[in-house]
Amino acid sequence: MPPHDIKVEDNDMTVFEELKARGLIAQMTNEEKIQDLLDNHRTSFYIGFDATADSLHVGHFLQLVVMSRLQKAGHKPIALIGGATTMIGDPTGKTDMRKMLTREEIDHNAECFRRQMRRLVDFGEGKAVMVNNADWILPFHYMDFLREVGIHFSVNRMLTAECFKSRLEGKGLSFIEFNYMLLQSYDFLHLYRTMGCHLELGGDDQWSNIINGADLIRRVDGKDDAYGMTFTLLTTSEGKKMGKTEKGAVWLDPEKTSPYEFYQYWRNVQDADVIRCMKLLTFIPLEEIADFAKLEGSAINSAKERLAFEITKMVHGEEEAAKAQEATRALFSGGASADMPSTQLSEEDFTDGAVTVADLLLKCGLAPSKSEARRLIDQGGVFLDDEKAEGAMQKIEKSRFAGTGLIIRKGKKTHHKVSL
């Protein structure tokens, strides 16, 4: 690989130094060699994405940010869509076998991934490429695969991998899932041979799969210039995985998680997590982040607002980020916004010109049942225009919903506008 003029970050750090300073790097197979690859050469690297759903989620977002950061530094990303590996399902972090998807479902999901990735990664000519491992794995005859790839894997060693150990201690591991590590390892070998890819990246839960890929290249081709690096997993200060709400995953698809809800998720992160999220997920300069880190008390809200705006802008564009920000500011100042999740009531929803708070929660989808609605209200977790609801059977007159409507708040983070 010839030397290449690698762009340094705005603060005069090299890209490798920036990754370390932001806390993005978890593990590396060879730190010295990887630093040389990233700081002194134009390097092709790959990250794999199994198409298990029709949208990427917050967990994928960190990987896309790293991909974008390295591309801006002059490197060439290879985004690998797991058209074949999705047919098996990665057992990592799962207590049960993943749902088996059809080829048609996988192809649809892969196309959705492509559209979403293009917001963060430039797939223009010579800049980044997108490949699908179905193109080289599906034509592979099973006996040939066993003889070329399987012979290099020790079952004893594989069983020491955390992804297998946890499953074997629980509900067990199917034979089809046991093949996943071999297939992912072969992906690295194939890209090394055909595209000159010398570096595989992924979340830290992928460490076992990544090091086995580099080892396969060494065993099959006799080369020791393939390396692996994992990212820090996106967790809270309490160690819980981020990207989940009461409604489920936080998706990058605006049809599954609206730009407003997406913005709200980041606007409402815990104080202890704001600075870490800024470092991991945004391009805000480290010097500016250091200034935000000095904020205390309610002043930290300005950091949360900046975090939410920057991430929403990257995923949904500046216009949607600005609309979500405006809606949130209106909410906190006591106003209302058309971008907030909303429900429109009809005459059928009223009895004698009023509706109870419990019925209103059910209508808006804020409670799954009347008993749950009563529990929320009795615990003091429901507010009507910032006034605590008095009880489940409290009646709200129809006139309260006229004009800009009424805002229901459930807990600290869930807001819903109700109008006529």
Question: What pLDDT, in 10s, does the model give residues 376-409?
Answer: 888 888 888 667 888 888 888 887 776 667 788 8
pLDDT band at 207 (very low <50, low <70, confident <90, very high): very high
Q: How far is CA 375 from CA 4, 357, 371, in A?
A: 63, 12, 6
Token pair recorded at residue 82: 């797991």
Residue 190 is a catalytic residue: no
Residue 206 is a catalytic residue: no
Strand partners, 202: 230
- Please tell me the distance from the alpha carbon of residue 316 to that of residue 182, in angstroms, as a whole number: 36
Given the residues 33, 42, 94, 370, the one annotated as active site: 94
Given the residues 98, 114, 119, 218, the one annotated as active site: 98
Task: Indicate the range of 26-35, 188-197, 322-331 predicted with least confidence.
Answer: 322-331
User: Which pLDDT value is given to residue 332?
Assistant: 62
> Ranked by mean pLDDT, which of 131-145, 188-202, 249-263, 285-299 comes out on top?
188-202
The yes-or-no verdict on residue 6 having pLDDT over 50 is: no
CB 101 within 8 Å of CB 52: yes
Length of the chain: 420
pLDDT band at 212 (very low <50, low <70, confident <90, very high): very high
Report field, pTM of the whole predicted structure over 0.85: no
Which residue did the predictor score with more confidence, 89 or 153?
A: 153
Task: Indicate the range of 40-44, 67-71, 273-277, 416-420 predicted with least confidence.
Answer: 416-420
Token pair recorded at residue 83: 């058209």
User: Which pLDDT value is given to residue 91?
Assistant: 52
Question: Which of left, alpha, beta for 409 (phi over 0: left; psi -120 to 50: alpha)?
Answer: beta
Contacts of 346 (CB under 8 A, 6+ apart): none
Residue 57 is a catalytic residue: yes
CB 80 within 8 Å of CB 133: yes
Query: For residue 336, which of 389, 392, 266, 386 has the smallest C-alpha distance?
Result: 386
Which residue did the predictor score with more confidence, 218 or 333?
A: 218
CATH of 15-231, one of 3.40.50.620, 3.40.109.10, 3.10.290.10, 3.40.50.720: 3.40.50.620
Instruction: Report CA 318 to chain centroid distance, whole Å.
Output: 19
Given the residues 184, 264, 356, 414, the one annotated as active site: 184
The yes-or-no verdict on residue 413 having pLDDT over 80 is: no
> What does the CA dihedral 109, 318, 327, 258 come to, rounded to 10 degrees?
0
Token pair recorded at residue 136: 């080289």
Given the residues 60, 69, 276, 323, the one annotated as active site: 60
* Half-sphere CA count of 142, side-chain side, radius 13 A: 2
Q: What is the mean pLDDT of residues 139-159?
A: 87
Spell out the long-range contacts of 269-272 with Cβ–Cβ below 8 A and sequence spacing 24 or more.
Answer: 269/236, 269/242, 269/304, 269/307, 270/236, 270/237, 271/300, 272/236, 272/237
User: Which pLDDT value is given to residue 95?
Assistant: 46
The yes-or-no verdict on residue 106 having pLDDT over 70 is: yes
CB 189 within 8 Å of CB 215: no
Which residue did the predictor score with more confidence, 339 or 111?
A: 111
CB 173 within 8 Å of CB 22: no
User: Which pLDDT value is given to residue 1?
Assistant: 35
pLDDT in tens, 29-45: 999 999 999 999 999 99
User: Which pLDDT value is given to residue 410?
Assistant: 84
Task: Indicate the range of 65-69, 269-273, 326-330, 380-384 predicted with least confidence.
Answer: 326-330
User: Which pLDDT value is given to residue 362?
Assistant: 87
Given the residues 39, 54, 107, 205, the one annotated as active site: 205
Task: Indicate the range of 63-72, 161-170, 205-214, 273-282 predicted with least confidence.
Answer: 161-170
* Half-sphere CA count of 26, side-chain side, radius 13 A: 20
Residue 144 is a catalytic residue: no
User: Which pLDDT value is given to residue 130?
Assistant: 94
Residue 363 is a catalytic residue: no
> What does the CA dihedral 295, 328, 412, 350 come to, rounded to 10 degrees?
170
Given the residues 114, 118, 119, 244, the one annotated as active site: 244
Given the residues 245, 343, 349, 395, the one annotated as active site: 245
Residue 244 is a catalytic residue: yes
Residue 343 is a catalytic residue: no
Task: Indicate the range of 92-96, 203-207, 411-415 predicted with least confidence.
Answer: 92-96
Q: What value does the mean pLDDT of the chain take?
A: 86
The yes-or-no verdict on residue 3 having pLDDT over 50 is: no
Given the residues 22, 57, 415, 416, the one annotated as active site: 57
Q: What is the mean pLDDT of residues 125-132?
A: 92
For the chain, domain boundaries: 15-231, 244-332, 342-419
The superfamily in CATH containing domain 244-332 is Tyrosyl-Transfer RNA Synthetase (1.10.240.10)
Q: What is the mean pLDDT of residues 194-218?
A: 94
The end-to-end CA distance of the chain, in Å, is 65
The yes-or-no verdict on residue 415 having pLDDT over 70 is: yes
pLDDT band at 5 (very low <50, low <70, confident <90, very high): very low
The yes-or-no verdict on residue 66 having pLDDT over 90 is: yes
Q: What is the mean pLDDT of residues 173-196?
A: 89
CB 183 within 8 Å of CB 158: no
Query: For residue 262, which of 316, 329, 304, 300 has the smallest C-alpha distance?
Result: 316
Task: Indicate the range of 2-6, 94-98, 120-124 predicted with least confidence.
Answer: 2-6
Q: Tokens 């809200």 correspond to what residue?
A: 301
Q: What is the mean pLDDT of residues 207-227?
A: 94
Q: What is the mean pLDDT of residues 288-302?
A: 91
Residue 184 is a catalytic residue: yes
Q: What is the mean pLDDT of residues 405-419?
A: 79
The yes-or-no verdict on residue 8 having pLDDT over 50 is: no
Residue 52 is a catalytic residue: yes
pLDDT band at 11 (very low <50, low <70, confident <90, very high): low
User: Which pLDDT value is given to residue 179?
Assistant: 84
What is the CATH class of 342-419? alpha beta
Which residue did the predictor score with more confidence, 203 or 92?
A: 203
Can you give the C-alpha Rg of the chain in angstroms?
25
User: Which pLDDT value is given to residue 314?
Assistant: 96
- Please tell me the distance from the alpha carbon of residue 285 to that of residue 75, in angstroms, as a whole number: 20
